[in-house]
């Protein structure tokens, strides 16, 4: 195990009726609020009205930034920064999925920075301060509700980049808010949280039994609960389990003392930057191919994955055969829940493979399990057609 420092200040407020805590937060953070949300799903299932009435009861001055896109855009972030400054707002309340939260994080750090917020994403500056941010999560997927990452797309330059920004001060997670998530987005969320575990599980770091078992148990819990949610989207307990898995998969618990990878996420972000496809859909296509491309770097780790997560029986089989069976089971599971399996499913051909390979590696080779050059990325994309 490597040395580590673990710090996560986000207060997680979880469960049915958790929104009752919102009023207290106004007392803590102030009455001038930027309310950020997406394309209107929160209006359809009543959360918007609920939030507005709680904020009104507290005498808040609420300024709205609506219409944050899935794969949130830099242009929207600029609008939010402008509103916070012109209206002199105290804090930001993000209500939605990862896109709304990521845009809100960018706004929070952008307000406190004199230069262009995109500097952070280009690694030309590091955020030093942020407006307080609270979130009400409506989709189990990214873990953004309890981490510092923000992923933003600059549509002008066709770049989608992630950077460490600021932790939410609090996040309210009520599983009932995820009942209305459509089937395809539910599937993308399932793939995304599993992919976050993969990025932190496939490692060369040894002697990490607890981190490994945390990771394996998150994967097993997702695998058990995914079919329940797809069968009955209103299954409170299954939705709650997935919601908690999504948070735990990317809130800093898994990578402590572990060298993590993240190459597949960089590749997916490059694909999304060029084709604007859903993040989880891209990961479902890419991850099994990444696994096939790199497993020889540490067959033992892939064998452990196959045996412990998929219950593959290793009896009488070579380590490599067991490892490959685990990878095949991953693909089968994604297929079973209805995730896409080929770039062609999104109409993507071999036309822009080199463009995406270059975009995936803007700061040099990516990943640590097997550092990938643009040519490796090209090969994985080719396998994914």
Give residues in contact with ligand NZQ (CB under 6 A). 38-42, 70-71, 96-100, 102, 138-139, 141-144, 147, 149-151, 177-178, 180-182, 185, 188-189, 192, 250, 265, 279-280
- Binding partner of residue 226 among Zn ion, ligand NZQ, none, CB cut-off 5 to 8 Å per kind: none
Ramachandran quadrant class, 174 (left: phi over 0; alpha: psi -120 to 50; beta: rest) = beta
- Count of residues that bind Zn ion according to CB under 5 A: 1
The strand pair at 61-65 and 32-37 is best described as: parallel
Total residue length of the chain: 385
Quote the least distance from Cβ 190 to Zn ion, whole Å.
11
Quote the least distance from Cβ 287 to Zn ion, whole Å.
10
- Binding partner of residue 96 among ligand NZQ, Zn ion, none, CB cut-off 5 to 8 Å per kind: ligand NZQ
Quote the least distance from Cβ 290 to Zn ion, whole Å.
13
Quote the least distance from Cβ 371 to ligand NZQ, whole Å.
20
Quote the least distance from Cβ 160 to Zn ion, whole Å.
12
Give the nearer residue to Zn ion in terms of CB position, either 91 or 202: 202
Nearest CA to 309 out of 218, 182, 176, 200 is that of 218
Using the 8-state DSSP alphabet, how is residue 68 labeled?
Answer: P
Give the nearer residue to ligand NZQ in terms of CB position, either 120 or 322: 120
- Binding partner of residue 180 among ligand NZQ, Zn ion, none, CB cut-off 5 to 8 Å per kind: ligand NZQ
Give the nearer residue to ligand NZQ in terms of CB position, either 149 or 384: 149
Query: What CA–CA distance (Å, rounded) separates 123 from 103?
Result: 17
Give the nearer residue to ligand NZQ in terms of CB position, either 181 or 353: 181
Reading the block at residue 135, the tokens are: 């979130």
- Binding partner of residue 104 among ligand NZQ, Zn ion, none, CB cut-off 5 to 8 Å per kind: none
Give yes or no for a contact between 263 and 200, defined as CB atoms under 8 angstroms apart. no
Reading the block at residue 67, the tokens are: 């219409």
Nearest CA to 325 out of 288, 352, 290, 350 is that of 288
- Binding partner of residue 71 among Zn ion, ligand NZQ, none, CB cut-off 5 to 8 Å per kind: ligand NZQ
Quote the least distance from Cβ 196 to Zn ion, whole Å.
6
Q: What is the dihedral of CA 322, 325, 326, 330, to 10 degrees?
A: 180
Query: What CA–CA distance (Å, rounded) separates 127 from 133?
Result: 14
Nearest CA to 242 out of 265, 216, 263, 223 is that of 223
- Binding partner of residue 277 among ligand NZQ, Zn ion, none, CB cut-off 5 to 8 Å per kind: none
- DSSP one-letter string for 33-95: EEEEE-SSHHHHTTHHHHHHHHHHHTT-EEEEE--PPSS-BHHHHHHHHHHHHHTT-SEEEEE
102 touches Zn ion (CB under 5 A) = no
Query: What CA–CA distance (Å, rounded) separates 96 from 136?
Result: 6
Nearest-CB residue for Zn ion: 192
Give the nearer residue to ligand NZQ in terms of CB position, either 73 or 378: 73
What Rg, from alpha-carbon coordinates, does the chain have? 20
Give the nearer residue to ligand NZQ in terms of CB position, either 144 or 166: 144
Nearest CA to 106 out of 124, 97, 119 is that of 119
Quote the least distance from Cβ 210 to ligand NZQ, whole Å.
23
Quote the least distance from Cβ 313 to ligand NZQ, whole Å.
33
Give the nearer residue to ligand NZQ in terms of CB position, either 279 or 378: 279
Residues 181-200 that bind Zn ion (CB under 5 A): 192
- Binding partner of residue 208 among ligand NZQ, Zn ion, none, CB cut-off 5 to 8 Å per kind: none
Q: Which residues 6+ apart lie within 8 Å of 110 measured at CB?
A: 77, 78, 80, 81, 117
- DSSP one-letter string for 260-300: ---HHHHHHHHHHHHH---HHHHHHHHHHHHHHHHGGGGHH
Quote the least distance from Cβ 181 to ligand NZQ, whole Å.
4
Give the nearer residue to Zn ion in terms of CB position, either 176 or 282: 282
- Binding partner of residue 305 among ligand NZQ, Zn ion, none, CB cut-off 5 to 8 Å per kind: none
Task: Summarize as ranges the residues that interact with Zn ion (CB under 5 A).
Answer: 192
């Amino acid at each position: 195990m490597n040395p580590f420092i673990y710090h996560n200040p986000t207060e997680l407020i979880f469960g049915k009726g958790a929104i009752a805590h919102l009023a207290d937060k106004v007392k803590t953070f102030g009455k001038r609020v930027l309310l950020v949300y997406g394309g209107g799903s929160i209006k359809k299932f009543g959360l918007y009205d609920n939030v507005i009435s709680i904020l009104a009861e507290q005498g808040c001055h609420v300024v709205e930034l609506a219409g944050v896109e899935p794969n949130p855009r830099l242009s929207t972030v600029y609008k939010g920064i402008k509103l916070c400054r012109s209206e002199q707002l105290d804090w930001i309340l993000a209500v939605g999925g990862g896109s709304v939260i990521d845009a809100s994080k960018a706004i929070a750090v952008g307000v406190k920075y004199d230069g262009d917020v995109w500097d952070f994403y280009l690694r030309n500056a590091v955020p030093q301060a942020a407006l307080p941010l609270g979130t009400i999560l409506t989709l189990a997927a990214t873990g953004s509700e309890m981490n510092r990452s923000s992923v933003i797309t600059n549509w002008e330059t066709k770049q989608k980049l992630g950077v460490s920004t600021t932790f939410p001060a609090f996040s309210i997670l009520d599983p009932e808010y995820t009942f209305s998530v459509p089937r395809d987005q539910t599937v993308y969320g399932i793939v995304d949280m599993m992919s976050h575990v993969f990025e932190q599980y496939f490692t060369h770091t040894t002697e990490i039994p607890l981190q490994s078992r945390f990771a394996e148990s998150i994967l097993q819990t997702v695998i058990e609960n995914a079919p329940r949610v797809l069968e009955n989207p209103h299954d409170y307990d299954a939705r709650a389990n997935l919601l908690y898995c999504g948070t735990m998969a990317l809130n800093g618990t898994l990578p402590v003392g572990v060298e993590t990878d993240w190459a597949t996420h960089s590749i997916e972000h490059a694909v999304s930057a060029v084709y604007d496809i859903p993040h989880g859909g891209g990961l479902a296509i890419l991850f099994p191919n990444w696994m096939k491309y790199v497993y020889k770097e540490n067959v033992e780790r892939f064998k452990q994955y196959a045996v412990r997560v998929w219950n593959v029986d290793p009896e009488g089989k070579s380590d490599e055969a067991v490892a490959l069976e685990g990878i095949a089971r991953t693909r089968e599971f994604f297929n079973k829940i209805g995730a896409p399996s080929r770039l062609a499913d999104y109409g993507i051909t071999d036309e822009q493979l080199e463009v995406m390979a270059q975009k995936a590696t803007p700061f040099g080779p990516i990943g640590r399990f097997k550092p990938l050059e643009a040519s490796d990325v090209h090969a994985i994309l080719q396998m994914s057609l």
